[in-house]
Amino acid sequence: MIYAGLVSVTFRQLKPEDIIELAVEAGMDGIEWGGDVHVPHGDVGTAERVKKMTEQAGLRIAAYGSYFRFTETPGFDEALASAKALGAPLIRVWAGNLGSEEADQSWRDYVARKSWDIAEQAAETGIAVAYEYHGKTLTDTPESAEALLRSANHPNLHSYWQPLPDHAAEERLPSLRDVRPWLSHLHVYHWLGRDRRPLEEGRGPWLSYLREASKAPGQRFASLEFVKDDDPAQFLQDAAVLKEMLAAVHGGEHLSE
């Protein structure tokens, strides 16, 4: 089952209360809360407050979107503390701060070892860990992402997926297939080059991506991000398109059932 969500950093300019209201209006199932603005690393009080507001609105906590990059700051202990207070089932981390072409083997080995460590640490609290699938990190190509996941080799370690703008259109679906054994959540947006476009224009490719993701076992969120012009009205339109696509993928069944 794939649920419809919103990545809170889509609207960094809005307060958590406003993001929750917007998600409810759009009929979303949950929110991935970001660790830079809305639920800062280590700020347990804010995490507890946002958790309460989210759940009172009838929404799920999809994940905690941390900015941990295997460098000194922010640290993983702070991210884990916030995720626990938030009630997040998963922490998103970044696979370092070097792209696969820049990274040498010692850096790859270090990130793999530390990935095992944090996955083990998070497992003790019942929280999963997943890499952001992103440029200028070790998940900037499907080959590098798969190599890192296999090298770290921890059952509590997973990977997000999103259509990277540096990948040719014909490469994107195969890249999703490559990470499907480790797949956690999806970040949903439609770009032409670096130009943000309405999701409706990407309906065809995204139906293919969602159908592919639906073959992976378990539950996950497809969460909207990078809305054109950071416009709440555009988000509401994109949310309607996302829900229509998910209904088609699930054979018409209601997502909240």
Instruction: Give the H/E segment covering residue 209.
Output: helix 203-213
Report the pLDDT averaged over residues 38-65.
98
Give CATH for domain 2-249. 3.20.20.150
- Please tell me the predicted confidence (pLDDT) of residue 110: 97
pLDDT tens, residue by residue, 160-208: 999 998 888 899 999 999 999 999 999 999 999 889 999 999 999 999 9
Residue 252 pLDDT grade (very low, low, confident, very high; cuts 50, 70, 90): low
pLDDT tens, residue by residue, 103-152: 999 999 999 999 999 999 999 999 999 999 999 999 999 999 999 999 99
- Residue matched to tokens 């909240």: 256
- Residue matched to tokens 């603005």: 37
Phi/psi at 222 (nearest 5 deg)? Answer: -110, 110
Find the angle CA(148)-CA(153)-CA(154) to the nearest 5 degrees.
120
Task: Identify which of 28, 136, 34, 31 has the alpha carbon closest to the alpha carbon of residue 82.
Answer: 34
- Please tell me the predicted confidence (pLDDT) of residue 256: 37
Domain ranges in the chain are 2-249
- Please tell me the predicted confidence (pLDDT) of residue 254: 40
Determine how β-strand 30-34 pairs with β-strand 60-65: parallel
Task: Specify the pTM.
Answer: 0.95
- Residue matched to tokens 């949903």: 188
pLDDT at 255 over 70: no
What b/e readout covers 105-135, taking b as 16+ CB neighbours within 10 angstroms? eeebeebbebbbebbeebeeeebbbbbbbbe
